[in-house]
Structure 1
Amino acid sequence: MTSQSQGIQQLLQAEKRAKDKLEEAKKRKGKRLKQAKEEATAEIDHYRLQREKEFRSKETSVMGSQGNLSAKIEEQTTEAIRNLTSSYHRNMEGMMKKLLSTIFDISPEIHPNFRPAV
Protein backbone atom coordinates (compact mmCIF):
# COMPACT_ATOMS: atom_id res chain seq x y z
CA MET A 1 0.00 0.00 0.00
CA THR A 2 2.79 2.28 0.72
CA SER A 3 4.05 1.79 -2.76
CA GLN A 4 0.64 2.71 -4.10
CA SER A 5 0.45 5.81 -1.95
CA GLN A 6 4.00 6.64 -2.97
CA GLY A 7 3.01 6.20 -6.61
CA ILE A 8 -0.03 8.40 -6.10
CA GLN A 9 2.12 10.97 -4.32
CA GLN A 10 4.58 10.93 -7.22
CA LEU A 11 1.74 11.32 -9.71
CA LEU A 12 0.30 14.25 -7.73
CA GLN A 13 3.72 15.85 -7.53
CA ALA A 14 4.27 15.29 -11.25
CA GLU A 15 0.84 16.76 -11.96
CA LYS A 16 1.64 19.76 -9.75
CA ARG A 17 4.99 20.29 -11.50
CA ALA A 18 3.28 20.04 -14.89
CA LYS A 19 0.66 22.54 -13.78
CA ASP A 20 3.39 24.90 -12.51
CA LYS A 21 5.31 24.57 -15.78
CA LEU A 22 2.11 25.23 -17.72
CA GLU A 23 1.37 28.37 -15.67
CA GLU A 24 4.98 29.49 -16.10
CA ALA A 25 4.73 28.94 -19.85
CA LYS A 26 1.47 30.95 -19.95
CA LYS A 27 3.15 33.80 -18.03
CA ARG A 28 6.13 33.76 -20.42
CA LYS A 29 3.76 33.76 -23.38
CA GLY A 30 1.84 36.70 -21.91
CA LYS A 31 5.11 38.57 -21.31
CA ARG A 32 6.27 37.85 -24.86
CA LEU A 33 2.94 39.02 -26.30
CA LYS A 34 3.08 42.18 -24.21
CA GLN A 35 6.69 42.80 -25.24
CA ALA A 36 5.85 42.16 -28.91
CA LYS A 37 2.90 44.57 -28.65
CA GLU A 38 5.13 47.25 -27.09
CA GLU A 39 7.78 46.73 -29.79
CA ALA A 40 5.13 46.93 -32.52
CA THR A 41 3.70 50.11 -30.99
CA ALA A 42 7.18 51.65 -30.80
CA GLU A 43 7.86 50.67 -34.41
CA ILE A 44 4.52 52.11 -35.54
CA ASP A 45 5.22 55.36 -33.69
CA HIS A 46 8.69 55.56 -35.23
CA TYR A 47 7.27 54.93 -38.73
CA ARG A 48 4.50 57.48 -38.18
CA LEU A 49 7.00 60.13 -37.05
CA GLN A 50 9.21 59.39 -40.05
CA ARG A 51 6.29 59.71 -42.48
CA GLU A 52 5.07 62.92 -40.83
CA LYS A 53 8.57 64.37 -41.09
CA GLU A 54 8.68 63.48 -44.80
CA PHE A 55 5.20 64.97 -45.27
CA ARG A 56 6.18 68.21 -43.53
CA SER A 57 9.33 68.38 -45.63
CA LYS A 58 7.37 67.98 -48.86
CA GLU A 59 4.68 70.36 -47.65
CA THR A 60 7.30 72.98 -46.82
CA SER A 61 8.94 72.62 -50.22
CA VAL A 62 5.58 72.91 -52.01
CA MET A 63 4.22 75.72 -49.86
CA GLY A 64 7.59 77.43 -49.91
CA SER A 65 7.56 77.46 -53.69
CA GLN A 66 4.04 78.87 -53.63
CA GLY A 67 5.28 81.57 -51.29
CA ASN A 68 8.06 82.33 -53.75
CA LEU A 69 5.52 82.49 -56.57
CA SER A 70 3.42 84.89 -54.57
CA ALA A 71 6.41 87.14 -53.92
CA LYS A 72 7.40 86.96 -57.58
CA ILE A 73 3.88 87.88 -58.74
CA GLU A 74 3.77 90.75 -56.24
CA GLU A 75 7.09 92.03 -57.55
CA GLN A 76 5.92 91.80 -61.18
CA THR A 77 2.69 93.63 -60.32
CA THR A 78 4.59 96.41 -58.58
CA GLU A 79 6.92 96.76 -61.57
CA ALA A 80 3.96 96.89 -64.00
CA ILE A 81 2.26 99.59 -61.90
CA ARG A 82 5.49 101.58 -61.77
CA ASN A 83 5.87 101.35 -65.58
CA LEU A 84 2.25 102.39 -66.17
CA THR A 85 2.58 105.34 -63.80
CA SER A 86 5.76 106.58 -65.46
CA SER A 87 4.20 106.15 -68.91
CA TYR A 88 1.14 108.10 -67.74
CA HIS A 89 3.28 110.98 -66.47
CA ARG A 90 5.39 111.03 -69.68
CA ASN A 91 2.44 111.04 -72.07
CA MET A 92 -0.18 112.99 -70.11
CA GLU A 93 0.87 116.51 -71.18
CA GLY A 94 1.20 115.64 -74.87
CA MET A 95 -2.14 113.86 -74.89
CA MET A 96 -3.88 116.77 -73.15
CA LYS A 97 -2.49 119.20 -75.78
CA LYS A 98 -3.65 116.94 -78.58
CA LEU A 99 -7.11 116.57 -77.04
CA LEU A 100 -7.51 120.32 -76.44
CA SER A 101 -6.30 121.18 -79.94
CA THR A 102 -8.84 118.77 -81.40
CA ILE A 103 -11.61 120.38 -79.36
CA PHE A 104 -10.67 124.03 -79.89
CA ASP A 105 -9.38 124.01 -83.46
CA ILE A 106 -12.62 123.73 -85.36
CA SER A 107 -12.64 124.38 -89.07
CA PRO A 108 -16.18 124.38 -90.41
CA GLU A 109 -16.62 122.55 -93.70
CA ILE A 110 -19.56 121.52 -95.78
CA HIS A 111 -20.22 117.86 -95.79
CA PRO A 112 -19.40 116.21 -99.13
CA ASN A 113 -22.90 114.75 -99.43
CA PHE A 114 -24.61 118.08 -98.91
CA ARG A 115 -26.68 119.28 -101.86
CA PRO A 116 -27.98 122.78 -101.64
CA ALA A 117 -31.67 123.12 -102.18
CA VAL A 118 -32.32 124.75 -105.52
Structure 2
Amino acid sequence: MSAQNSAGIQTLLDAEREASKIVQKAREYRTKRVKEARDEAKKEIEAYRAEKDAEFKKFEAEHTQGNKAAETEADKEAVTKIDEIKEAGKKSREKVVKDLLAAVFEINPTPHDS
Protein backbone atom coordinates (compact mmCIF):
# COMPACT_ATOMS: atom_id res chain seq x y z
CA MET A 1 0.00 0.00 0.00
CA SER A 2 2.88 2.27 0.73
CA ALA A 3 4.23 1.72 -2.76
CA GLN A 4 0.85 2.59 -4.21
CA ASN A 5 0.66 5.74 -2.07
CA SER A 6 4.17 6.67 -3.08
CA ALA A 7 3.38 6.10 -6.77
CA GLY A 8 0.14 8.11 -6.40
CA ILE A 9 1.98 10.96 -4.68
CA GLN A 10 4.64 10.89 -7.40
CA THR A 11 1.92 11.04 -10.07
CA LEU A 12 0.33 14.01 -8.32
CA LEU A 13 3.69 15.78 -8.05
CA ASP A 14 4.37 15.15 -11.75
CA ALA A 15 0.92 16.49 -12.63
CA GLU A 16 1.53 19.56 -10.45
CA ARG A 17 4.87 20.21 -12.17
CA GLU A 18 3.22 19.82 -15.56
CA ALA A 19 0.41 22.19 -14.54
CA SER A 20 2.98 24.67 -13.26
CA LYS A 21 4.78 24.55 -16.63
CA ILE A 22 1.49 25.12 -18.45
CA VAL A 23 0.64 28.07 -16.20
CA GLN A 24 4.12 29.52 -16.72
CA LYS A 25 3.79 29.20 -20.50
CA ALA A 26 0.37 30.87 -20.34
CA ARG A 27 1.83 33.76 -18.31
CA GLU A 28 4.70 34.15 -20.76
CA TYR A 29 2.26 34.11 -23.68
CA ARG A 30 0.00 36.65 -21.97
CA THR A 31 2.96 38.93 -21.18
CA LYS A 32 4.16 38.63 -24.77
CA ARG A 33 0.68 39.35 -26.13
CA VAL A 34 0.20 42.37 -23.83
CA LYS A 35 3.55 43.73 -25.00
CA GLU A 36 2.60 43.21 -28.65
CA ALA A 37 -0.78 44.87 -28.07
CA ARG A 38 0.93 47.84 -26.41
CA ASP A 39 3.34 48.18 -29.34
CA GLU A 40 0.48 47.97 -31.84
CA ALA A 41 -1.44 50.62 -29.90
CA LYS A 42 1.61 52.91 -29.90
CA LYS A 43 1.93 52.51 -33.67
CA GLU A 44 -1.76 53.27 -34.17
CA ILE A 45 -1.51 56.33 -31.92
CA GLU A 46 1.52 57.62 -33.83
CA ALA A 47 -0.23 57.06 -37.16
CA TYR A 48 -3.34 58.85 -35.88
CA ARG A 49 -1.24 61.72 -34.54
CA ALA A 50 0.61 62.05 -37.86
CA GLU A 51 -2.71 62.06 -39.73
CA LYS A 52 -4.19 64.76 -37.48
CA ASP A 53 -1.01 66.84 -37.70
CA ALA A 54 -1.20 66.67 -41.49
CA GLU A 55 -4.88 67.69 -41.40
CA PHE A 56 -4.08 70.60 -39.10
CA LYS A 57 -1.22 71.81 -41.28
CA LYS A 58 -3.46 71.62 -44.36
CA PHE A 59 -6.22 73.53 -42.54
CA GLU A 60 -3.72 76.09 -41.27
CA ALA A 61 -2.24 76.60 -44.73
CA GLU A 62 -5.68 77.08 -46.29
CA HIS A 63 -6.82 79.58 -43.70
CA THR A 64 -3.54 81.41 -43.32
CA GLN A 65 -3.63 82.39 -46.97
CA GLY A 66 -6.94 84.16 -46.43
CA ASN A 67 -5.54 85.86 -43.35
CA LYS A 68 -2.47 86.97 -45.27
CA ALA A 69 -4.64 88.61 -47.90
CA ALA A 70 -6.69 90.38 -45.21
CA GLU A 71 -3.50 91.43 -43.44
CA THR A 72 -2.04 92.84 -46.68
CA GLU A 73 -5.26 94.75 -47.35
CA ALA A 74 -5.29 96.13 -43.79
CA ASP A 75 -1.66 97.24 -44.17
CA LYS A 76 -2.50 99.07 -47.40
CA GLU A 77 -5.44 100.82 -45.73
CA ALA A 78 -3.29 101.79 -42.74
CA VAL A 79 -0.62 103.27 -44.99
CA THR A 80 -3.27 105.21 -46.90
CA LYS A 81 -4.79 106.61 -43.68
CA ILE A 82 -1.36 107.56 -42.31
CA ASP A 83 -0.56 109.38 -45.54
CA GLU A 84 -3.90 111.24 -45.34
CA ILE A 85 -3.18 112.28 -41.75
CA LYS A 86 0.32 113.47 -42.66
CA GLU A 87 -1.08 115.46 -45.59
CA ALA A 88 -3.74 117.06 -43.38
CA GLY A 89 -1.01 117.93 -40.88
CA LYS A 90 1.09 119.58 -43.56
CA LYS A 91 -1.84 121.63 -44.81
CA SER A 92 -2.85 123.05 -41.44
CA ARG A 93 0.54 123.06 -39.69
CA GLU A 94 1.04 126.83 -39.87
CA LYS A 95 -2.43 127.59 -38.54
CA VAL A 96 -2.06 125.09 -35.66
CA VAL A 97 1.34 126.54 -34.66
CA LYS A 98 -0.03 130.09 -34.88
CA ASP A 99 -3.06 129.17 -32.72
CA LEU A 100 -0.86 127.42 -30.14
CA LEU A 101 1.51 130.38 -29.89
CA ALA A 102 -1.42 132.77 -29.58
CA ALA A 103 -2.90 130.70 -26.77
CA VAL A 104 0.39 130.69 -24.90
CA PHE A 105 1.38 134.32 -25.35
CA GLU A 106 -1.97 136.11 -25.30
CA ILE A 107 -3.12 136.24 -21.71
CA ASN A 108 -6.71 137.17 -21.00
CA PRO A 109 -7.20 137.20 -17.24
CA THR A 110 -10.77 136.78 -16.06
CA PRO A 111 -12.00 137.06 -12.46
CA HIS A 112 -13.39 134.02 -10.75
CA ASP A 113 -17.14 134.07 -10.00
CA SER A 114 -17.05 132.78 -6.44
Q: Give the TM-score, by structure 2 length.
A: 0.62
Using the TM superposition, give the Cα deviation of residue 77 of structure 1 relative to its aligned residue in structure 2, in angstroms.
3.4
- Residue identity in the other structure for 1:12: I
Using the TM superposition, give the Cα deviation of residue 12 of structure 1 relative to its aligned residue in structure 2, in angstroms.
1.4
What is residue 27 of structure 2 aligned with on the other side?
30
Corresponding position: 1:12 with 2:6: no
Equivalenced residues, count: 84
Larger Rg: 1
Corresponding position: 1:54 with 2:80: no
What is residue 36 of structure 2 aligned with on the other side?
39
> Residue deviations 1:29-86, cap 9 Å, x none?
1111111111111111110110000000000110121211111222233455677899
> Residue deviations 1:73-108, cap 9 Å, x none?
22233455677899xxxxxxxxxxxxxxxxxxxxxx
Q: How does 1:65-104 map to 2 (within 5 A)?
A: 65-79=62-76
- Residue identity in the other structure for 2:46: L
**Structure 1: gaps spanning 5 or more residues:** 87-118
RMSD of aligned residue pairs (Cα, Å): 2.4
**Structure 2: gaps spanning 5 or more residues:** 84-114
- Residue identity in the other structure for 2:32: Q
- Residue identity in the other structure for 2:21: E
> Residue deviations 1:13-43, cap 9 Å, x none?
1111100011111111111111111111111
Structure 1 vs Structure 2: percent identity of aligned residues? 10
